[in-house]
Each structure stands twice: as C-alpha cells, then as structure tokens.
Structure 1
Amino acid sequence: MHTMWKGTISFGLVNIPVKMHAATENKDVKLRQLHKECQSPIKYEKVCPVCERKVEEEEIVKAYEYTKNKFVVLDKEDLQALQKEQTDKAVEIIDFVKLEEIDPIYFEKSYYLSPNEGGVKAYSLLRAALLETGKIGVAKMMIRSKEQLAVIRIYKNTLVVETIHYPDEVRAVQDVPNVPENTEVVKKELDTAKLLIDQLTTVFEPEKYTDEYRTSLLEIIEGKKTEKTATVTGKQKPDNVTNLMDALQASLDRAKKENPKPKKKTTAKATTTKKVAK
C-alpha cells in the first residue's frame, strides 16, 4: 500500500512515528472527451485572456481575490515557508471525545495509519488505550498544504485518521430553503411508515451494496470493445403512485415480499396431566 505521508502522532509525551495510507479509493469510471470528427482527446491549455496566448507554468503565480478583480499576490517563498513550518510540527492529539458526539456531516476522508520504524510499541499503546476507554482523539495535521482537523480512531484493529470539516465549513441549516417546521403528521401514515422502516431494518452489511450504475457502464464499455450489444439492467422503476398513504402501503407490501421477516419461534408450554386416583 502506497505511503502518502510520514510523520509523528503525539499525545502527552508519547510520540508515535507513523506512515499514512489512503483508506478509500474512487471507483468512478473516468470518461475522456474526444473530438467527434477524428476521435482525438481534447487538450486543455492555460491561456491568458488579456495577452491572448498560452501561459507556461513558471509564469503563473498564486493570489487571493479579496474583491471582484482585486488580488493579493502571494510569493512562492512565503507559501513554502508557511507549509514547512506546519509540516514540521508533530500531529498532536488535542482532545479525546466519544465518536457518537460528532455528527457524520463533519466527516470527510479516511486514512490508515501504520507504525513507522520504532513505533510499534507506542502504536499498540494508543490503540489499546482508545479501545479500553471507547474514546477517539481529536488532532490537527497538514495534508496537501492544508491544515486539517482530524480524529484518530480504531477500525478493525488499525488506527485510522479521519479528516473532518471545521465548524465554519459546514453550512448553517437555517440557510436551507423550504424546510417545514412542526408539520402535523397523520397518525395512520406515520404508523405505516414505521412498519415499513421496521420491515426494512437489518444489520448493516456493506458488502451487499454495489454501484449499479458503474457495473452497467462497464458492461456497455466491454460490449463496445467486443462490438457486442450491451443491455443495461437496473432496478424496477417505482410505480406511479401519487397518494402518500397508497405509496406507503404499496412500499410495505413490496418490502414484505422482498424481505420476509423470519417468523418468531414460539415455545409451547409444557402441560401436566394430573392422575386421578381410583
């Protein structure tokens, strides 16, 4: 597994040399854009609209647009010095909290941590301490020139760094338009919806969920490669039911057929027959 970062995780006076590896990968099917006439890939060039010419990489500088068409140009040396200052700092665990206290909206991306040379004992210590206390660590670290807020937790016996958004990066729910408040719900509809939820409730097994769009797209691509006709197969389209109660009932009926719940075993009570003395 490719190492994308090396550094030190610290809590208190304990330092853990670690390597970081991407825990997830993007499985999207990447499609290129071609010129329809000659099937050549389209190129994208960096062009200055004022000078009307292509701009080379060494001619480009970074800047912050503080108002429309007004920029503060940042020197490369300033940015490199700031990045080095932050990178040289150890990743320090600031606090320990419970995982359930963090809403999933904050989570961004996961990275595996493995111990670097001389870090096995301290790595095992932190893992055991997190496991025993049921806590996760909150830390700051530099990833790709950005200071990230992160949590350190355990996933299947491996330490994981989970980058999370800062509070000011999460948009206020008050800004979401047309969210109803305290709308009265019809009891019959609510009861049916709860029955539907109960019928579809199961143990989370991530392996059973697949990307049907990606699978179908790859089938089409393979069919095109071999000049065969590929058929797109997908889920059955939902019935055109407009009434809410009818939709709930139809969904419940279909769920019962597709996901029959196992019947509960009933224990028969033992009966005793009294003998009548003759």
Structure 2
Amino acid sequence: MKLFNRQKILLNVVEELNEKNIKSRRAIVKSLFLLKEEHGLGKEILFYNFFAYKQGPFSHLCFHDLRKLRDNNFINEEETTITIEGKKFLNQIGRKHENTIKIMLKNFSDEKKIMDYVYKKYPQYTIKSEMIEQKQKKASPRFFTIGYEGKDIDLFLNVLVSNRIELLIDVRKNPFSMNFIYIKGALMKKLKDAGIDYIHMPELGIESKERKNLQTKEDYEKLFEKYRKVLPMNEVYINRIIELGTIKRIVLLCYEADYNLCHRKEISKIIENKGHGMVNL
C-alpha cells in the first residue's frame, strides 16, 4: 500500500503520542488539528480539514485513514499503536516534519493537557462539544448558499457549522455526485451527525441534460435565461425556503463553487427581491 503524506504524518503522530503513553484516537485527531492550525502543515501538503463536533475539532478523513491503516496492519485494532509494518514509514516524512511533530507535542504530557489547550485556544471548535456545557445564544435566522465543488466533507462541514447552519436545502435536480459523500443518503448522514437537517427540493433543480456542453459564460447565460422563465412556476418552493429561512439559518446547496455559474444564484435573486439578504459561503 502506498501512503499519502498525510497518512505518514498520522503514523508519526501516533508513534510520538505512544512514546508519551498517550493512546487515544481523540488525542491523535487533536494533535493533527494543532499541526494544521499552528504549524501550517496544510499549506505544504494536502492535509486534514476539521470541523466542530461532539468532542471538539474532528476529521472524518482522519478516522477513515485510521481504519485503512488498521486494515492494512500498519496500526493495531484499537488504532492507537503502530505495528512493525507501520514503523517502516516513520522515517519517510523528512526531518522538518519530524521535528515539527516533536516540537508540537513536547509541552503535552497527557491527553488532558492536549484537550484543555485546544478547548481554551480554539473555542470556535467546541460549539458542538458534548464535553462542556453549551451557553452560546441561538444565532439569528439567515439565508446562505454553498457549492461543494473542491471541498472535502470536513471542510464543507466546517463552513456550515462555523456559520451555525441548522438546515441544508439541496436544490440539485438529482442528488448524485462523483464524490460519494455528496450523494443524498451519505450526505444526509454526515449532516445529521453534525446536527444539521436536510431537505431535498428537486423541483428547483435543472435537468442534467440541460447542463451538458456548458463551455462559455454565454452558454451558462442561455441556460439561466431559460431557467428564469420556469422558476416563477415553482414559487411555492421559493416561498417555503423563505418561510424556513425566517425561523432557521438555512443554506441552499448545489455543486458549483462559482456562485455565478450555478442556478442557486437565480433562486437567491428572487429571495433577495422579496427583501431577504443572501450570503454565499
């Protein structure tokens, strides 16, 4: 099995924690979080993203990698100790990254110190935590939009959670994606775990056949001109969005990262014309 750089970093973190007799997946995740936030690893290699979850900053991709490393006998069943096979990868990240990991962990003698440090310095990642009493006020209702293009699920959830999103409205005609995690069923599960509700409104989507061969801005404008003509016929769904957005913080979801190349912009225009502000995330 060929390992990504992030997985090699993960193995080195597990080993360094073991030398301190710290053996928990929670400590592993928080250590990786600090490597990204305070030592810039995400700027040099493709690394993990994190979002506020039940025990502070969390990464689905990290847990996925831990399971994969376990299944390939690089770490033990508890996913907290490196095997002999896994140790072969410990010297493959370069002296710079090895030293960074040692420096980052030198002030932490146990898991509690790591957790206390993260919770104190990064309170924005504790807003969903079940380990502390939550006292924050409920955020005001508001309308947002987002495209998932180019975002892994952890970065996507971080954007939603940090903006206190309560409900995601999927305006894709067909909630399918080449990225499995954004297929309706898988996405609903991840959203539910993060405390976010999901509604699918295919009536506001555009047929896949209409989206083929879009190459230029003119192609997109022709598509949206046609869409604008049929959109008023679905006003009942627009009104439903407005109704929900006056009581919750909602986000409209589609694929495109570029707001101007997505039909959610046309939906947003109607909502804005009815007196409600929209923010693209």
TM over 0.5: no
* TM-score normalised to structure 1 length: 0.23
* TM-score normalised to structure 2 length: 0.23
Bigger RCO (CA 8 Å, 6+ sep): 2
Larger helix percent: 2
